[in-house]
């Protein structure tokens, strides 16, 4: 049987364009919730934001590297885990934080700031932690990933919709109030529909290898959620802010991960399965965690 590292998932250039467009719409739907005042408020009290970004871009990649070294999964699976940990917070984190009774405004702002920061930090984390682990270092050498190209891809997919959404919210707040909820619902439905269709096109391969990867994805996601909770607790954040940091660290932008995998790694099997399973599992774990958290009101 073909090994997971030798498999390249079938994903057409047209499908890539569609995925890019979907992620841009999802980012736009989040951006129309943002105002410049949100960032000014965080500038006056930046501690929760700084703690959240530290948890996401420093602590999670370190824990991921330690997990990879300890468990030594196949090379492409390991690099998939490292890449997911290098991505900014996922687009559904804001919805889940709201459901959990956490600070949704902090969550939205963290997503926005992390998305901007990802232009620099995502390629750095992929190169740093992927380069430290021997098997993943070999994949990076073969693919010759260019951090500048990654930064451009992140910028076009996420930053441009962010700017356009915030601009529309500033100039036409009446319009954004009307379209905000239906657009966010539609964008997330289209995204999950796309993931399902993409999996259906590679179903035999996915079934063959998903079982060997699922446990690692569940463990990785648990580490991410635990990291967010622990860092926020040690930093002395209120339960209200702690919920936002926990969820923002545990919900990663797996859609961006898929784009990077197909754009720079040729759809390498283990990486793609990790990102696809993350896209499914973090929604399940996040919603389940939110339902538990929402049973008690968080102190602010």
Whether the predicted pLDDT of 178 surpasses 70: yes
The answer to whether 77 and 209 are in contact (CB under 8 A) is: no
- Cα-based distances in Å from 268 to 85, 153, 232, 263: 17, 18, 35, 10
Task: Tell me whether residue 244 is in a domain.
Answer: yes
- 288: Cβ contacts below 8 Å, ≥ 6 apart: none
Whole-number Å distance between alpha carbons of 136 and 127: 10
DSSP string, 244-299: HHHHHHHSB-HHHHHHHHHHHSTTBHHHHHHHHHHHHHHHHHHHHHHHHHTTSPPP
Whether the predicted pLDDT of 139 surpasses 90: no
Q: What is the pLDDT at residue 297?
A: 85
Average pLDDT for residues 61-83, to the nearest whole number? 95
Better-predicted residue by pLDDT, 232 or 294: 232
At residue 142 the predicted structure's pLDDT band, cuts being 50, 70 and 90, is confident
Task: Tell me whether residue 3 is in a domain.
Answer: no
Whether the predicted pLDDT of 7 surpasses 60: no
Instruction: Name which of 265, 216, 252 is nearest 87 in CA terms.
Output: 252
| Residue 200 domain boundaries | 14-293
Q: Which two tokens stand for residue 215?
A: 């446990």
Q: What is the pLDDT at residue 239?
A: 94
Task: Tell me whether residue 20 is in a domain.
Answer: yes
Average pLDDT for residues 156-179, to the nearest whole number? 85
Whether the predicted pLDDT of 209 surpasses 80: no
Number of domains in the chain: 1
Task: Tell me whether residue 197 is in a domain.
Answer: yes
Q: What is the pLDDT at residue 29?
A: 80
- Cα-based distances in Å from 174 to 5, 109, 163, 179, 294: 50, 21, 18, 9, 30
Task: Tell me whether residue 246 is in a domain.
Answer: yes
Question: Per-residue pLDDT tens for 216-245?
Answer: 999 999 999 999 999 999 999 999 999 999
Average pLDDT for residues 91-115, to the nearest whole number? 83
8-state DSSP, 32: T
Better-predicted residue by pLDDT, 114 or 255: 114
Instruction: Name which of 229, 245, 223 is nearest 89 in CA terms.
Output: 245
Q: What is the pLDDT at residue 203?
A: 66
At residue 1 the predicted structure's pLDDT band, cuts being 50, 70 and 90, is very low
Better-predicted residue by pLDDT, 87 or 91: 87
- Cα-based distances in Å from 123 to 40, 134, 143, 190, 288: 28, 18, 14, 27, 31
Better-predicted residue by pLDDT, 115 or 30: 115
In percent, the amount of the chain with pLDDT more than 90 equals 33
At residue 150 the predicted structure's pLDDT band, cuts being 50, 70 and 90, is confident
Task: Tell me whether residue 5 is in a domain.
Answer: no
Task: Tell me whether residue 127 is in a domain.
Answer: yes
In percent, the amount of the chain with pLDDT more than 70 equals 85
CATH number of the domain that 269 lies in? Answer: 1.20.1530.20
Whether the predicted pLDDT of 201 surpasses 90: no
At residue 6 the predicted structure's pLDDT band, cuts being 50, 70 and 90, is low
Helix (H, G, I), strand (E, B) or coil at 89: strand
Q: What is the pLDDT at residue 198?
A: 65
Q: How many CA atoms lie within 13 A of 75 on its CB side?
A: 18
Q: What global pTM score does this model have?
A: 0.83
Q: Return the top range by mean pLDDT from 43-52, 169-178, 243-252.
A: 243-252
End-to-end CA distance of the chain: 55
Whether the predicted pLDDT of 19 surpasses 90: no
Q: What is the pLDDT at residue 256?
A: 83
Helix (H, G, I), strand (E, B) or coil at 156: helix
CA angle 192, 146, 73 (to 5 degrees): 60
Which spans in 32-144 are helix H? 36-44, 47-54, 60-71, 75-86, 93-100, 104-132, 134-143
Average pLDDT for residues 34-57, to the nearest whole number? 83
Task: Tell me whether residue 275 is in a domain.
Answer: yes
Q: What is the pLDDT at residue 248?
A: 94
**Largest separation between any pair of C-alpha atoms in the chain:** 58
């Amino acid at each position: 049987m073909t090994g997971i590292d030798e498999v390249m998932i079938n994903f057409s250039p047209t499908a890539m364009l569609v995925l890019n467009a979907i992620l841009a719409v999802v980012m736009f739907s989040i951006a129309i919730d943002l105002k410049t005042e949100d960032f000014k408020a965080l500038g006056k009290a930046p501690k929760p934001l700084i703690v959240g970004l530290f948890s996401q871009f420093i602590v999670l990649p370190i824990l991921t590297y330690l997990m990879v070294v300890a468990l030594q999964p196949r090379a492409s699976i390991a690099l998939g885990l490292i890449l997911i940990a290098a991505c900014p917070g996922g687009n559904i984190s804001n919805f889940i934080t709201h459901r959990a009774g956490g600070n949704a405004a902090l969550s939205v702002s963290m997503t926005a700031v992390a998305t901007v920061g990802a232009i620099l930090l995502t390629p750095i984390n992929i190169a740093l932690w992927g380069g430290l682990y021997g098997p993943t270092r070999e994949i990076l050498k073969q693919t010759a990933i260019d951090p500048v190209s990654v930064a451009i891809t992140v910028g076009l997919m996420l930053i441009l919709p962010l700017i356009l959404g915030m601009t529309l919210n500033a100039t036409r707040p009446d319009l954004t109030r009307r379209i905000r909820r239906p657009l966010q619902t539609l964008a997330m439905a289209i995204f999950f529909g796309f993931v399902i269709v993409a999996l259906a096109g590679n179903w035999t391969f996915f079934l063959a290898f998903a079982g060997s990867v699922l446990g690692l994805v569940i463990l990785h996601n648990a580490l991410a959620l635990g990291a967010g909770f622990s860092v926020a607790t040690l930093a002395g954040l209120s339960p209200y802010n702690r919920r936002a940091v926990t969820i923002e660290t545990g919900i990663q932008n797996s859609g961006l991960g898929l784009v990077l995998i197909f754009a720079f790694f040729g759809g390498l099997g283990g990486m793609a399965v990790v990102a696809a399973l993350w896209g499914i599992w973090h929604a399940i774990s996040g919603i389940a965690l939110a339902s538990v958290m929402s049973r008690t009101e968080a102190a602010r």
